[in-house]
A and B are shown apart, each in its own frame.
Chain A
Amino acid sequence: MTRTFLTQNRSVFWFLLALGIFALIVTVLSEAAGNGMISTSFVKTLGKTLCLMLVAVAMDVVWGYTGILSLGHMAFFGLGGYMIGMWLMYARTEIIVTESLLAAALPPTPQEIHDSIGTQIFGVVGSSQFPAIWIFAHSFWLQIAMVVLVPGLLALVFGWLAFRSRVTGVYLSILTQAMTLALSLYLFQNESGLRGNNGLSGLQNLPGLDDVPQSTLSIAFFWASAAALGLGYVLFAWVTSGKFGSVIRGIRDNESRVRFLGYHVEGYKLFVFTLTGIVAGIAGALYYPQAGIINPNEIAPIASIYLAVWVAIGGRGRLYGAALGAALVSLLSSWFTSGAVPSVPLGFYTIQWTDWWLVLLGVSFVAVTLLAPKGIGGLFDLISTRHTIPERVGDFGPDKGARRTVEGEEEK
């Protein structure tokens, strides 16, 4: 089955090959396992980029294949990050607290340890009580389960409510924006139990691995991210190929026609929305330990809009396009905003790229949408000899053979 799957989806093979080669090159040039040409912080940037590519591939399945323009998928990404961050903070604080309490005359009770972890974590928001949502934070495996369950459940409930009411098109996009905005505003409150606008920090320090240098950890996370991207790519390539892919593309192009064929369209949308939400959560759980910090700003509406921009620039409706778009735009973005790009003096005005990058991004987004709707991925059509989807879609009406106005007579 794998054999036929790979032969029918050549892009999967090439994508995995390119990803593997890229990962090897980065490893060889890294500080941890190679000659150190690539700094640890840049390895982290590349690892984070792989996570963004994964969420972009998921976005492409929702938008490019199923036609649901979700502008809220970064909420699931952020939630995944929060879920892993809770365990990271708890476990690391636990180690520190236990060590410091060892010096005390009496050995600390578990309750004392728990309380002082609470004081350490929530002191910053003037509290020391563990909110109820931290109930699983002590257990790695339970919290890992939360990485999947919390974004998945939110996507499931939100999707069920939205799709059963047959909210579609721009109204659905607005609804998803409202969802991510509401979630981020809620998390900004100290009462939300996730440290308000401070967010969760120190996530780059893995509990119990203080002796392992960040250069090694960064490569480990880089490989984990690459593996997740590879697996996610194969998963989505499998989902979008075959009959399921046929049905969801049908939903994108003509939803009601699919309904009249007997398919429960809402069920399909919900399936895709939830599955991609879960994958976005997993991507987030790999991203934020590399970023080191997560706060509610990460799930502001703009984040999800960026996600849509990456996919649009990369090319909707093809998974590698979305992945390339995310990689290119997010790397360019960090380059332009780092201040490393020389300013352009115009005499009367100096273009500072840190300020003008967004303008450049906006212009390229509009340009791609208008001039090259297939995006970067469309470039591959130039080198591919395979039959591509024709431009011609939509109804062209009856042609010469059509006779509809004359009634009651027949050509002999």
Chain B
Amino acid sequence: MKTLLEMSGVSVSFDGFKAINNLSFRIGEPELRAIIGPNGAGKTTFMDIITGKTRPDEGTVIYGEKSISLLKMSESQIAMAGVGRKFQKPTVFEAQSVRENLAMALKNKRGPFDVLLYRKTKRGAERIEELAEIIGLTDSLPRIAGELSHGQKQWLEIGMLLAQDPRLLLVDEPAAGMTPAEREHTTDLLKRAAEKHAVVVVEHDMEFIRRLDCRVTVLCEGSVLAEGSLDHVTSNPEVIEVYLGR
């Protein structure tokens, strides 16, 4: 398993508050990793740093075989390099149809002129059908995304993430707003994605994480508190103290 992403010594503070404090993190490809931590532990900021939304004050973020630094790249460049993200709140384009949402996310050239001259291809249409099948929205393809239920929006966003065909998937609370059956489906989906790619899942739901059956990183106050199997970290007294014991 080769390393895909390595963060070391990353710190970032907002108005004096240290959201991330000397954080080091490494994930290989393929690998499935769950991240847990109390509110304010820096989980979202951690994802913001990888995706280029937030610039750290210090530290390095190295990505891929060529060991490129993500800190010098813009959000869109990072996304094009193969980092896909699913937000905590489902953020889909509500005024557009499910098909348009998926088409926008499909892996294609992203330049204005490429997109202007873009012609719909049979392969693209098949890929959209395929994704719609996976996320269970086949019948909803022509529907406007704003009409979907919360859970369906979650699915759509997962579909958009898969459509980008990323190497590193950052998934923030994928199971929120889903029924138990849907959560099981999500687990399978993430596990399957992790057979080839690197997947980082932030989740509150312990049962969900248990089913993912993967290495767990516990974040607290902006740095790594513990890392290992779920049983290992949940038996760690420090973890119990700050997170589970409350």
Contacts and interface: CB of A to CB of B under 8 A. Distances in A.
Interface residues of B, number: 48
A378 B47 CA distance: 41
A263 B106 CA distance: 11
Contact of A409 (B89, B149, B173, B207): B207
Interface of A: 239, 242-244, 246-247, 249-250, 253-254, 256-265, 267-268, 271, 387, 389-390, 392-399, 401-404, 407-412
Classify the interface of chain A: helix, strand, loop or mixed.
loop
B191 interface: no
A384 to B, nearest CB: 16
Contacts of A404: 173, 176-177, 204-205
Given A262-B80, A395-B89, A407-B205, 12 more contacts: A244-B112, A247-B115, A249-B93, A250-B104, A253-B93, A261-B164, A267-B111, A398-B176, A401-B182, A403-B205, A404-B204, A409-B207
Contact of B96 (A250, A260, A265): A250
Contact of B178 (A242, A387, A394, A401): A401
Contacts of A398: 150, 176-177
B82 to A, nearest CB: 9
Interface of B: 51, 53, 74-77, 79-80, 85, 87, 89-91, 93-96, 100, 103-105, 110-113, 115-116, 118, 144, 146-147, 149-151, 160, 164, 173, 176-180, 182-183, 204-207
A268 B178 CA distance: 35
Contact of B94 (A242, A253, A410): A253
Contacts, number: 126
8 contacts: A244-B112, A257-B91, A261-B105, A389-B144, A392-B146, A393-B146, A395-B89, A404-B205
Contact of A408 (B53, B105, B180, B207): B207
Nearest to A1: B119
A258 B164 CA distance: 12
Nearest to A251: B93
A261 B150 contact: no
Contacts of B177: 398-399, 401-402, 404
A357 to B, nearest CB: 35
Nearest to B146: A392
Contacts of B118: 242-244
A401 B151 contact: yes
Contacts of B79: 259-262
B149 A399 contact: yes
Nearest to A242: B118
A259 B76 contact: yes
Nearest to B82: A262
Contacts of B173: 404
Contact of A392 (B85, B100, B147): B147
B94 A392 contact: yes
A239 B116 CA distance: 7
B206 A408 contact: yes
B75 A256 contact: yes
A262 B107 CA distance: 9
Contacts of B111: 264, 267
A254 B89 CA distance: 13
A407 B178 CA distance: 14
A411 B180 contact: yes
A410 B176 contact: no
Contacts of B182: 401
Specify which of A390, A394, A401 lies most central, judged by the most chain B CB atoms within 10 Å of its CB: A401
